Structure 1
């Protein structure tokens, strides 16, 4: 009897063909939404554009999302999660925790520059701005706490530093997209931001002069 119960419980936790197909359709819609919105812009992209790009029927959209706003949120969450995972993988081999943070922040600016429509969308929407900031700050706090324990970072108040860094990176994104600053000035800005973690400006500038790996 116990064996039958265990088998039934295992089966209930294993996705069946229908649920796998549903998850695949949802993922396809989210990917299509991000791709279409990066080309046409968020406002100009229609649900029909998304379903056509995903090669799915129009009605399938409403099996997963109630509105375009809902899939925009889902696409943003997906982008933040993917970006965070890719950054984690990129900085994992880097021994210097200060340089690792510079590399991580540089990827955020680079993504916005390479996909300016998405970059402006994030900056102009308080909701998506908070999603990006909160999603990446969780990882930043994790890395900072680890470096503090190892004696690498000197941070008196992690909440203050997290807000300074998060706001600083987004300000650099805004200035770069606006054409107010160039890539060299972005690097200078990142060097100044990393000093909040307990490194001198001189050492920070030496780090920023190193080749920065990219995704």
Structure 2
């Protein structure tokens, strides 16, 4: 009986997070009612407060779940790459293509805005700097530069509609970031012209 109850609680919690994630693709959390969330999750209204103290915590967890999925996708795509510059370029190129490859993820990232955690770690950037492949003064500022510019390009991509324009912008952003981090033009373009792993 205890095991069954715990499974049911876990299923209800997962359903609420999935519902919040789906709602994030088209709605601002501030405009979503708890009734709408529980209806979308197909659970009773009273179940909500058994799992979450507020809508904000639920939506934060939904965004965190998307970020985890995003990071896993990038880890799989960059596994085996030995050039830190290429690993960053792949992360940027794949993510900036989301408006046509993973539109639901793109809309959630756009809605989360600058609060969205990027798919690269500060430690990865520090490693790239330590081995002399990327050049910057502060890894956290470098990460903010990547995240902010990527968010802008991703947002434009959601409006563009044309996949070829989205792809071009993704690659141009990767070149620009690599140049900003110290690679010469030719090297940056060579890195970005390498085949893109499947995501």
Q: Distance in 2 between matches of 1:164 and 1:37?
A: 25
Q: Does 1:202 align with 2:189?
A: no
Are the structure 2 counterparts of residues 208 and 117 from structure 1 closer, same or farther at C-alpha, using a change threshold of 3 Å? same
SS at match of 1:32: helix
Q: Does 1:212 align with 2:199?
A: no
Gaps of 5+ in 2: none
Q: Distance in 2 between matches of 1:63 and 1:86?
A: 32
Q: Does 1:30 align with 2:30?
A: no
Q: CA deviation at 1:113?
A: 4.3
Q: CA deviation at 1:173?
A: 1.1
Give the CA RMSD over aligned residues: 3.0
Q: How does 1:39-78 map to 2 (within 5 A)?
A: 40-42=26-28, 47-78=34-65
Q: TM-score, with normalisation over the residues of structure 2?
A: 0.77
Q: CA deviation at 1:75?
A: 0.9
Q: CA deviation at 1:165?
A: 1.8
Q: TM-score, with normalisation over the residues of structure 1?
A: 0.72
Are the structure 2 counterparts of residues 111 and 61 from structure 1 closer, same or farther at C-alpha, using a change threshold of 3 Å? farther
Name the counterpart of 1:192: 176
Q: Does 1:129 align with 2:110?
A: no
Name the counterpart of 1:173: 154
Q: Does 1:92 align with 2:79?
A: yes
Q: CA deviation at 1:206?
A: 1.9
Aligned residues: 193
